[in-house]
Structures are given as C-alpha cells and as structure tokens.
C-alpha cells in the first residue's frame, strides 16, 4: 500500500512529463484499437458478404468435391441430410445446389458458362441470389406449359449471347451418366451486372438442373447459414460427426485462399502494431530512465534506509503500470465513442465498392471487447518489460555514491 | 553395285509384306461396312459411377460416310452423328441444333463412351498414317502399326491381331509414346451376318481408367441395304425428325 502511494506521488511529482508520457501511451492505444477495429471490421464485412451472398457459413459435399469437383461426386440422400440439419439449433437456413460447366448457345453465338442448379425456395432464404436480380422475375420451380424450365443468367451471358427476358437459351453439358445433356431454357431474369462475379453463371431451378444433368434427386452441395457465424467451425465439427460419409467444411475451409490471405494480412498488421508499440515504448523508456537518473539520490537514501532492491524495482514497475492504466482509462474514454461511431456510422466511401455483386458504400469497424482488450494487454505487458531496466538500475545504486551526486 | 542389287532383291519382298499387311488392315476396317451397310447396335457404357445402355442404328457407305442415330434411351432418342469424309457433326433434336465436332475433339469421347469420335468415324486411315509390320503365328496375323513421322496421333503403337481362319479382328492394342498399353479392343462372339462371319461383340477397355468399359453388340447387320443411299449422308437427313 505504501508502495502504491509512493508510486502515485512519484507520477504527480513531474506532472508535465507524466502527462506527455501518458498522452503518447493514450495515442498509441487509441491508434491500435482503431486499427484493429478497422481491419477486423472490413474483414468481418467481407466475410459476411460472401458467406451470405453465396457460400454460406458451412458447406457439405461428397468426398473432395470442394478441391476436385467431379459431376459424379454427389450427395445421394439430400433428404436424410436435411432431416439432420432441420434438428440443429444453430442452423438458420440451408439450401442444396448442383454445379456443372456448360456451353450456352443462342442464335447469336455461344459462350462457356458455369451452371448452378438451386433449390428455388431455399436459395431465397440462404443466399442473396434474389436480391441480385437486376431485371426480370425470380424463376419458378416447375417447367412452363411447353415443358421448358426457366433460367436466370448472369449479365455477361446475356450480353455475349444477346439474349433477353423470355428468350430461349440453349445449354449443352455432360450429364452425370456420360450422356450429352442438351436442352432449351427460357430466360426469366438477369442477375448482377457486367462486372460481377456471377456474370458467366446460369442459374437453373434444382429440378430442371437435375433432369438436365441426369442426376435425379442428387445434389453436389449443401450450403448452410448459421445464426452466428462464429460457430462455423464448431457446427462443422458437430455435423461432420453426425454425417461421417460426407465432408463438412466451415467457411474458413471453403474459402481457404481468402482465409489464408486474411490471416497473413492480420499478421502483417500485428507486426505494424508491434512497431508502433515499440516506438511508443522507447519514448516511455526514455522518460522512465530520465526520472530514475534524476532521482538516483532518492534511491540512494531509500537503500541506505534499508529498502530491498526488489522493492525499488516493484516501485518503478508500479509507477509505469499505473501511468499506463491511467492512459488506458483516458484511451478508452476516447476509443469507445470513436469505435462506436465507426462501427455504426462508418466512413462513407467516395466510390462504392462492388463486393460479390453487392454495392458496398461505407466502411465500418468492429465493436467487440477483443478490439479493446488486445492493445490493453499489449500495453501492460510492454510497460512491465520497459520498467525492468530502469528499475534494476535504480535498485543497484550504491547508497554512498548516489547520495553524493548533486 | 553388289550391295545395291542385294538391296533390290529385298525391295519386292518387303513390298509384298507391306501390301499384305495393308490389305489385311483395309479388309478389317471394311469388314463392318462393306460397300454399304446398315446395323442395329447396342452400346453398354460401364464406369464405376454409372452404367447405361443405348440402342442405335448406324448406316455407312464405304470408309467415307457414316450415319448413327440413337434409338433409346428416350432421353437421348434422335441424337445423331453424321460423318462425311473427314468431317463430323452431331445433331441434338431437343434443341434442334447441329454441332460440328472440331478436329480438337476427335480424340474426345463419343456420347460418354470409351470410344473416341475418331474411333467412330475412322478419320485416321490406319494404312495411310502408319507403317505396318506383319508377323504371323499359326492362327493369327499380328500387324504392328507405327505412326509415321508426320502423323498426328496420340498412339505410339497399335497392335492389330487378326484371326487367320475367318480373317476377322481379334484384338487391337493401343500403346502410348512410352510403349505402355493404354487401351485394348477385344472382338468376340463370331456370328453370321448375311453370309459373312464376323465378331458381333466389340469391347473397348481403357487400361488407364479402372472400371471403365464399353461394349458394342451388333444385333443386326445388313449389307448393301436398299434404303441406304447418298441422301442418308446429308445434313438435311441429320436434321430430319423420325
């Protein structure tokens, strides 16, 4: 208790110096919080975008379909899987899909496309496909009176084939039984714009795609949305154990290249933060060292009176830690409102960025306890490390020599 | 001089051997076609993932022209292939579209089977594109075909084995550039088709794809049929509904 009192007094003995040190610590803290909030925020946004746009939080495939897609790697019992998914409390919605490469034809030419067959009703609840329609109507599940299924086509396909709403679209692909799949579809909607990732995609109703590809009742993918994205890994592990015959993957695995890039970028950011921290703490070290040198007479007296060196080290450490604590309180007072504003209002971008066909017009931060706690731990840790050297110096003074100096 | 005459002595011999091999191959290749022919075939495609059976009808005139139409399953009914000389087209009635098979797709699979488009249309004339070597055993001719330098092919060697007694093919083995056998075609079930004895079952086994197999069974084969003429081998006929 005496030690705390002493440390407290020592801080306020040199008010101006303490204030400056505290300000640089506060600045470093606010900067770190803001930087972490911004980075994690933009990643959280990007992740939310693509998972809700198309990938979902968890996906189920047959074997290694994710790495090596082959038309015959199918989930043959989608209803049984659906029963399991329906029971799971963390699952918000799910949908089934089939995929195949195809060639599309119109009277005006041909172009290769990616074919995706989707469950018409479930897709609407699980992905943003419905919101991405720029023209026309969402397709129906059943064929029209002439027996043709409808198709929704990417803007790129529409442009290069010069087909519009109501026009015929011819698709040719290889069926799951090796036969040549060929059929006519009626364009019911245009999806996205000319530069969106879906531009060369043709969406078909699931039943239409299945009969086209001769894979009746089978699907390639389950895409699952959870109530909370942070449960993705956990839910994937749980589902994997209840469905051992298939491969369950959380979005971190599904979008592994994105995830790895993100992790690498985060590490890079961490290195930057550490550098900022080192710069701030060299300043702090300088201050503490100065104050220790100035007070060497005082430490000489303390030692002469019988203070143990460990007490002196503790006192110096306590001084720095308390100073850091005060800076963090000040920093929190500044950072909380700032981060709150950043996470709710965000920064308006001068040019909207197109993410997966969805316009993103503002950049927002992340407001979670972690954002505040990580720099806090960093600062306390650094404060202790930084105070050890001056502390040892103070503790090792020879009383006679120290008392004789000025 | 002596050396030259020594060489000259061999030239006719070699030529004879060569012509024999050539005529054998030509005969084999013409076996199923004759001047003109019409056949009903069953094709069974087996893979580890699926198997399917197709019924089809094929007509041909000489080595040049061929026409194949799928009769069943219902989903594929009417899909037709026309080969004229070195060109090939597929017709899909569902989308009412004729699609030309580009030269790059000649080694691609025909309708998902283990037969390539090239096997079907015999775009490559074996005797023109390959050097032939004939060896004999008691019951069989064994003709080795090696591609000529300018020949564009995926095969490094083809072994063509012919039954001496009936003069029908027994086996065709296809090797890659490194001499590894890639696929083999086996002929079996000799049957009398209008006076000609020939194998009624052809089995194509790709050795680099485990579990894959395609079997063609000749259910019926008729030579010089009255209803096969020039009009059969036209794009108009290809597109005709039936």
Across the interface, whether the CB atoms of B112 and A72 are under 8 A apart is answered: no
- Residue ranges and CATH numbers for the domains of chain B are 2-62+112-223 (2.50.20.10)
Residue A379 lies in a domain: yes
Give the minimum alpha-carbon distance from A177 to chain B in angstroms, rounded to a whole number. Answer: 6
User: Quick one: A392 and A305 in the same domain?
Assistant: yes
Residue in A178, A179, A184 nearest the CB of B95: A184
pLDDT at A203: 95
pLDDT tens, residue by residue, B45-75: 998 888 899 999 988 887 778 899 999 888 8
Nearest to A179 among B47, B99, B112 (CB): B112
Q: What is the pLDDT along chain A (406 residues), one digit of tens a residue?
A: 788 888 888 888 888 888 988 998 999 899 899 888 888 888 888 888 888 888 999 999 999 999 999 888 999 999 999 999 999 999 999 999 999 999 998 888 889 999 999 999 999 999 989 988 999 999 988 888 888 999 999 999 999 999 999 999 999 998 888 888 999 999 999 998 888 888 999 999 999 999 999 998 999 999 999 999 989 999 999 999 999 999 999 999 998 888 898 899 889 988 988 898 888 888 888 888 888 888 888 888 888 888 888 888 888 899 899 999 999 999 999 999 999 998 888 888 887 776 545 566 777 888 888 889 989 998 889 888 888 888 888 888 888 888 776 5
Q: Shortest CB distance from B50 goes to which of A172, A178, A182?
A: A178
- For residues A143 and A183, membership in a common domain is answered with yes
Residue with tokens 């930087």: A35
Q: Does residue A167 lie in a domain region?
A: yes
pLDDT, tens digit, for every residue of A37-80? 888 888 888 888 888 888 999 999 999 999 999 888 999 999 99
| DSSP reduced 3-state for A129 | coil
A265 and A369 inside one domain: yes
Domain holding A102, by residue range, is 70-219
The pLDDT of residue B8: 45
The number of C-alpha atoms within 13 Å of B62 and in the hemisphere containing its C-beta is 9
Terminal-to-terminal C-alpha distance of chain A: 30
Is A225 contained in some domain? no
- Render pLDDT for B130-160 as a digit per residue (tens, 0 to 9): 888 888 888 888 888 898 888 777 888 999 8
Q: Is residue A248 part of a domain?
A: no
Q: CB-based burial of residue A383 (10 Å sphere; 0-12 exposed, 13-18 middle, 19+ buried)?
A: buried
Confidence at residue B37, expressed as pLDDT on a 0 to 100 scale: 85
Domain count, chain A: 2
Within this chain, do residues A167 and A208 fall inside the same structural domain, yes or no? yes
Q: Are residues A283 and A214 in the same domain?
A: no
CB-based contact B90 A214, cutoff 8 Å: no
Cα A88 to chain centroid distance, Å, stands at: 24
- The answer as to whether A246 is a domain residue is no
**Is 0.95 exceeded by the ipTM?**
no
Contact B112 A172 (CB under 8 A): no
Which of B47, B109, B112, B120 to substitute to test the interface with A, most A CBs within 10 Å? B112
Q: Does B113 touch chain A (CB under 8 A)?
A: yes
Q: How far is A185 from chain B (nearest CA, A)?
A: 10
Of residues A170, A179, A184, nearest to B52 (C-beta): A179
- What's the pLDDT tens digit per position in A103-119? 998 888 889 999 999 99
Q: Does A177 touch chain B (CB under 8 A)?
A: yes
Residue A249 lies in a domain: no
Q: Are residues A282 and A373 in the same domain?
A: yes
- Please tell me which residue of chain B has the smallest CA distance to A172: B95
Predicted TM-score of the model (pTM): 0.77
Interface residue B213 vs chain A (CB under 8 A): no
Sign of the four-CA dihedral A162, A164, A167, A172:
positive
Shared domain for A206 and A298, answered yes or no, is no
Asked if A340 and A386 sit in the same domain, the reply is yes
Q: Which residues contact B45 (CB under 8 A, 6 or more apart)?
A: A178, B51, B52, B53, B54, B112, B113, B114, B213, B214
């Amino acid at each position: 208790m005496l030690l705390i009192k002493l440390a407290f007094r020592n801080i306020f003995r040199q008010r101006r110096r303490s204030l400056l040190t505290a300000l640089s610590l506060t600045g470093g803290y606010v900067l770190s919080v803001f930087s972490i909030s911004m980075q994690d925020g933009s990643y959280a946004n990007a992740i939310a975008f693509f998972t809700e746009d198309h990938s979902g939080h968890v996906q189920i495939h047959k074997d290694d379909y994710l790495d090596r897609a082959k038309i015959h790697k199918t989930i043959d019992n989608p209803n049984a899987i659906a029963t399991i998914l329906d029971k799971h409390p963390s699952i918000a919605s799910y949908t089934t899909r089939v995929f195949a490469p195809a060639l599309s034809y119109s009277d005006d030419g041909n172009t290769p496309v990616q074919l995706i067959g989707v469950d018409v009703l479930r897709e609407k609840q699980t992905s943003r496909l419905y919101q991405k329609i720029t023209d026309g109507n969402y397709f129906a599940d059943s064929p029209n009176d002439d027996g043709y299924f409808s198709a929704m086509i990417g803007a790129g396909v529409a442009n290069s084939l010069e087909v519009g709403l109501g026009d015929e679209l011819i698709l040719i692909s290889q069926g799951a039984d090796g036969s040549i799949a060929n059929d006519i579809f009626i364009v019911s909607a245009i999806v996205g714009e000319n530069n969106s990732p879906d531009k060369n995609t043709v969406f078909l109703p699931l039943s239409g795609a299945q009969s086209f590809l001769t894979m009746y009742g089978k699907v390639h993918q389950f895409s699952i949305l959870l109530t909370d994205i942070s449960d993705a890994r956990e839910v994937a592990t749980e589902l994997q154990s209840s469905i051992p015959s298939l491969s369950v993957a959380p979005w971190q695995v599904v979008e592994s290249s994105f995830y790895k890039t993100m992790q690498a970028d985060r590490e890079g950011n961490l290195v930057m933060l550490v550098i900022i921290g080192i710069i701030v703490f060299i300043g702090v070290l300088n201050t503490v060292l100065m104050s220790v040198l100035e007070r060497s007479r005082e430490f000489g007296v303390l030692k002469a009176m019988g203070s143990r060196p460990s007490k002196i080290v503790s006192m110096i450490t306590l001084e720095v830690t308390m100073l850091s604590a005060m800076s963090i309180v000040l920093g929190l007072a500044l950072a909380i409102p700032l981060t709150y504003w950043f996470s709710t209002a965000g920064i308006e971008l001068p040019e909207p960025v197109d993410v997966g066909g969805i316009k993103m017009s503002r950049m927002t931060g992340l407001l979670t306890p972690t954002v505040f706690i990580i720099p806090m731990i960093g600062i306390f840790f650094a404060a202790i490390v930084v105070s050890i050297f001056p502390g040892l110096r103070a503790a090792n003074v020879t009383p006679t020599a120290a008392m004789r100096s000025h | 001089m002596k050396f030259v005459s020594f060489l000259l002595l061999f030239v006719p011999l070699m030529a004879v051997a060569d012509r024999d091999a050539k005529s054998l191959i030509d005969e084999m290749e013409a076996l199923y076609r004759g001047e003109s022919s019409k056949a009903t075939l069953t094709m069974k495609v087996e893979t580890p993932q699926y198997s399917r059976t197709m019924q089809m009808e094929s007509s041909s005139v000489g080595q040049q022209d061929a026409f194949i139409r799928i009769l069943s399953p219902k989903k594929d009914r009417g899909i037709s292939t026309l080969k004229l000389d070195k060109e090939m087209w597929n017709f899909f009635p569902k989308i009412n579209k004729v699609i030309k098979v580009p030269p790059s797709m000649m080694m691609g699979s025909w309708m998902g089977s283990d037969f390539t488009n090239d096997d079907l249309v015999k775009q490559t004339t074996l005797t023109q594109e390959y050097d032939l070597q004939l060896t004999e055993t008691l019951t069989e001719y064994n003709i080795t075909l090696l591609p000529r330098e300018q020949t564009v092919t995926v095969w490094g060697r083809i072994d063509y084995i012919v039954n001496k007694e009936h003069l029908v093919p027994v086996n065709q083995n296809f090797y890659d550039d490194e001499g590894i056998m890639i696929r083999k075609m086996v002929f079996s079930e000799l049957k009398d088709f209008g006076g000609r004895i020939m194998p009624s079952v052809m089995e194509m086994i790709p050795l680099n794809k485990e579990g894959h197999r395609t079997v063609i069974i000749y259910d019926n084969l008729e030579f010089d049929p009255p209803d096969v003429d020039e009009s059969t081998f036209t794009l108009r006929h290809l597109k005709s509904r039936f």
